[in-house]
Amino acid sequence: MDFASWSTWQRWRYALKPGSWPKLLVPCVLGQGLGVVAAPRVSWVALALGVLFTLCDLAFIVFLNDWGDQGVDRIKREMFPHGCSPKTIPDGILSSRALLWAGLGCGALGLLSAIAGEWWLARLGAPRPGLSWTALGCLLVFVAYSLPPLRLNYRGGGEALEMLGVGVALPYFNFYLQAGRWWSPWVWPLLGFALLSLGSALASGLSDEESDRAGGKRTLASVAGNEVTRQATELLVLLGAVAWVCADGALVGLWFVGGLGALIAVGYWLLLRRGSASAVTNAFTEQGLYKQHLHHAIW
């Protein structure tokens, strides 16, 4: 690719990675949806604020993740110059400084939107006390995941933090924003989503196994290997399906909804299992198809 000929818009659009947006937009929609059924009426203001915060959080994560991972990204490009997608900083698409400031700016904008939203909703007679702190918690999960001094995705535990951020914190933020209450039985379906999100987090390390190992990044794939990671991912999909049934059925009373969600997840699990044996180390095309089936099971 000739990145030198790209416009500024094309460079920033590539850095935003539109293909990864469902990873955060789906938790937003899930949380808002659960909030709608738990609330007496739909709040369009809460919906707009939830989408705005999620988009800011998305850009915050994408930009700063590239900034934090530029070392291992450079290693991967050197190891597999034709086997992986271009990397934003190593390939000169954008500078490290530009991504850092853009990411910090998006995070600040997201937090300010939550603060303004809490004030606005209170003025409308629909107070959401603690909303700003909940938003800050969502942002801090990623800070602990990828940024100094903790950088837990390099020390081990990054996948668990991703599950916490994507599978619990972000959908719960949107649930509370829409429902206006801290607790409802409708929070229970997040258990199944959290397990599926953990499976997605584990699988995301498959394509980076050797470069992460060389760069000192500790993921399940870089520590335990490809096969163990696939086995854990597939187990989590099944556990997530069971959790959907239990949460929607036993706890909320909607057995049909839980069963339908579980049936869809199991259907894609079968495709996942069928392609599992070929998604071995450095089989990037097969790994991409494997993760596509996984994402369909979740999304």
Query: CA–CA separation, 283 vs 296, rounded Å?
Result: 20
- Asked if residue 45 has pLDDT above 80, the reply is yes
pLDDT value of residue 213: 94
- Examine the domain organization and report whether 23 and 168 are in the same domain: yes
Q: Are 15 and 99 in contact (CB under 8 A)?
A: yes
Q: Which of 183, 203, 224 is at the close of a domain?
A: 183
- Work out the average pLDDT over 202-211: 94
Residue 132: band (very low, low, confident or very high) from pLDDT cuts 50, 70, 90? very high
pLDDT per position as a tens digit, 67-100: 999 999 999 988 988 777 889 999 999 999 999 9
Contacts of 165 (CB under 8 A, 6+ apart): 138, 141, 142, 145
DSSP tag of 92? T
Judged by DSSP in three states, 74 sits in helix
- Examine the domain organization and report whether 253 and 136 are in the same domain: no
| Nearest in space to 190 (alpha carbons), one of 28, 20, 55, 57 | 28
CATH of the domain at 230: 1.20.120
Amino acid identity for residue 219 in this structure: T
Tokens at 73, concatenated: 């990204």
Q: How many CA atoms lie within 13 A of 87 on its CB side?
A: 24
- Asked if residue 56 has pLDDT above 80, the reply is yes
Domains identified in the chain, total number = 2
pLDDT value of residue 5: 86
pLDDT value of residue 25: 96
Q: How many CA atoms lie within 13 A of 143 on its CB side?
A: 10
Query: CA–CA separation, 11 vs 66, rounded Å?
Result: 14
- Asked if residue 124 has pLDDT above 70, the reply is yes
- Examine the domain organization and report whether 166 and 55 are in the same domain: yes
pLDDT value of residue 4: 79
pLDDT value of residue 298: 85
Look at residue 5 and tell me if it is in a domain.
no
Query: CA–CA separation, 240 vs 175, rounded Å?
Result: 20
Give the lowest-confidence range in 85-89, 177-181, 193-197, 259-263.
259-263
pLDDT value of residue 245: 82
pLDDT value of residue 24: 94
- Examine the domain organization and report whether 174 and 63 are in the same domain: yes
- Examine the domain organization and report whether 156 and 218 are in the same domain: no
Whole-number mean pLDDT of the chain? Answer: 92
Q: b vs e for 215-225, b when ≥16 Cβ sit within 10 Å of the residue's Cβ?
A: bebbbbbbeee
- Examine the domain organization and report whether 23 and 150 are in the same domain: yes
Q: Which domain holds residue 274?
A: 188-299
- Asked if residue 149 has pLDDT above 90, the reply is no
Tokens at 295, concatenated: 């994402």
Sign of CA dihedral 261, 167, 51, 129: positive
pLDDT per position as a tens digit, 243-293: 888 877 666 666 666 667 778 888 889 999 999 999 999 999 999 999 999
- Work out the average pLDDT over 53-65: 97
- Examine the domain organization and report whether 219 and 162 are in the same domain: no
Query: What is the pTM (predicted TM-score) of this model?
Result: 0.94
- Asked if residue 29 has pLDDT above 80, the reply is yes
- Examine the domain organization and report whether 241 and 157 are in the same domain: no
pLDDT value of residue 247: 77
Query: CA–CA separation, 154 vs 271, rounded Å?
Result: 31
- Examine the domain organization and report whether 195 and 120 are in the same domain: no
Query: CA–CA separation, 251 vs 162, rounded Å?
Result: 26
- Examine the domain organization and report whether 160 and 204 are in the same domain: no
- Asked if residue 40 has pLDDT above 70, the reply is yes
- Examine the domain organization and report whether 19 and 166 are in the same domain: yes
Look at residue 2 and tell me if it is in a domain.
no
